[in-house]
Amino acid sequence: MHELTLKGTYSEMGTQLGLLMKKNKYTPPPVKDERYEMAKGCERALEKYAPTLLEEIDAMVKAGGYEDTTLKVFQLALNPYPTNGCSIFAVTGEYTTTGNVIFARNYDWDWNGLEHFTLFKTYPKDALASLGYCDLMVGRYGGINEAGLAIGLTAIPAFPADYPGVMLHLATQWILDNCSNVKDAVDYMRKIPHVRANNYLVADSEGEAACIQAAPKCVEVVEPVNGLVVATNHFQTTKMQAFEVREKIPESSVPRLEHINKWFNKRKGKIDQVQAQSELKGMIASGAGVCQDLVKDNARFSTILSWTHELGTREIELTDGIPSEVDYKKYTF
């Protein structure tokens, strides 16, 4: 995984990114024709709900000389989801050894995708500093910020269509840059238009945690039950499940959620990061945890990175690779 530090105004950070991409001769991926129209709607949403990120994207495109490429369209609208996985859970303080929330997350994807990921230390002017990661230059799939908030997202591949709005990685970065607690994050997610369906698991140093189930037509929050809240790749409430095409839910999604619940309910004593990591790196195939490593369509599909965090600190423990094979290392900002 690459590491990069960004500082300054959003225009300055975007310029830094664009020049770096130009230096490394980055070529944006192809996008489907229909994404161009989708990107126009997403840009309008960003102007209203995350204007600083649009400023960063525009500066990146200009500095790198990407005006006549697919870069901006891809940053705003991405491409449709493949079928994939991911597991996140949070344990509230009354059930942990330190009294702080423990946040734990596996990112499951095509094995070759790991080479595109960057761990960002971001210090934006007039916004919150953060430590986050993504395979895009603007946007984050998860991370922590200086106010004591942690966030991670999972895909809902069974949602049938995209709508113009704030794309998942940009919504996550906006929350890291601007939200100090779970309530702030929930309020923002209820306000914005969503492009597609996702779970966003959030936790804060005040001891709160929640799974924000978000879709273009509805947002609903799942609270912890007896100290545990979980997100995999399906919705958990009847109202949100009505939006899913059930046969398109990843086959491992329900088993992973159930395994996390069983692991937690069978615990002896209180939870620490090491115990959370044991659940993340245990293999789902052997019933030992929620780590995935399999071959799908002649490609290796795995948990390509994994991380845990104790709320109230500025440190994560992260694996640069499948957690059953790679040790967790500490990163701070």
Q: Are 222 and 210 in contact (CB under 8 A)?
A: yes
Q: What dihedral angle (degrees, nearest 10) is formed by the CA atoms of 16, 2, 46, 109?
A: 160
Question: Helices in the chain by DSSP H: which ranges?
Answer: 10-23, 34-49, 51-64, 71-77, 168-178, 182-191, 238-241, 253-265, 273-281
Say whether pLDDT at 174 is over 90: yes
In angstroms, the CA 179 to CA 149 distance is 7
Structural domain of residue 148, as residue ranges? 85-332
Tell me the sheet residues that pair with 90. 103, 229
Q: What is the pLDDT of residue 196?
A: 96
**157 within a domain of the structure (yes/no):** yes
Q: Are 55 and 46 in contact (CB under 8 A)?
A: no
Q: Indicate the angle between helix axes 51-64 and 34-49, nearest 10 degrees.
A: 130
**123 within a domain of the structure (yes/no):** yes
For residue 260, the tally of other CB atoms under 10 A from its CB is 24
**48 within a domain of the structure (yes/no):** no
Q: Are 167 and 38 in contact (CB under 8 A)?
A: no
**33 within a domain of the structure (yes/no):** no
Q: What is the pLDDT of residue 249?
A: 94
**250 within a domain of the structure (yes/no):** yes
Say whether pLDDT at 301 is over 70: yes
Three-state DSSP at 332 gives strand
Q: What is the pLDDT of residue 326?
A: 96
CA angle in degrees (0–180, nearest 5) for 313-314-316: 95
Tens digit of each residue's pLDDT (9 = 90 or more) over 219-266: 999 999 999 999 999 999 999 999 999 999 999 999 999 999 999 999
Sequence-ordered strand ranges (E) for 26-166: 85-91, 102-110, 118-124, 130-134, 142-145, 149-155
Query: Which residues have a Cβ under 8 Å from the Cβ of 328 and sit 6 or more positions away?
Result: 277, 306, 307, 308, 317, 318, 319
Is the pTM value of this prediction over 0.85? yes
Q: What is the pLDDT of residue 82?
A: 65
**127 within a domain of the structure (yes/no):** yes
Tens digit of each residue's pLDDT (9 = 90 or more) over 12-55: 999 999 999 999 999 999 999 999 999 999 999 999 999 999 99
Query: Which residues have a Cβ under 8 Å from the Cβ of 74 and sit 6 or more positions away?
Result: 28, 29, 31, 35, 136
Task: Give the mean pLDDT of 113-138.
Answer: 97
Domain count, the chain: 1
Say whether pLDDT at 315 is over 90: yes
Say whether pLDDT at 189 is over 70: yes
In angstroms, the CA 51 to CA 9 distance is 12
**35 within a domain of the structure (yes/no):** no
Tens digit of each residue's pLDDT (9 = 90 or more) over 46-93: 999 999 999 999 999 999 999 999 999 999 999 876 666 899 999 999
Can you give the CATH number for the domain in which 176 is found? Answer: 3.60.60.10
In angstroms, the CA 252 to CA 258 distance is 10
| Structure token digits, residue 333 | 């900002």
Tell me the sheet residues that pair with 305. 107
In the numeric block, the tokens 């995984």 are attached to 1
Say whether pLDDT at 271 is over 90: yes
Q: What is the pLDDT of residue 112?
A: 86
**296 within a domain of the structure (yes/no):** yes
Tell me the sheet residues that pair with 306. 106, 319
State residue 228 phi and psi, 5-degree precision: -130, 135
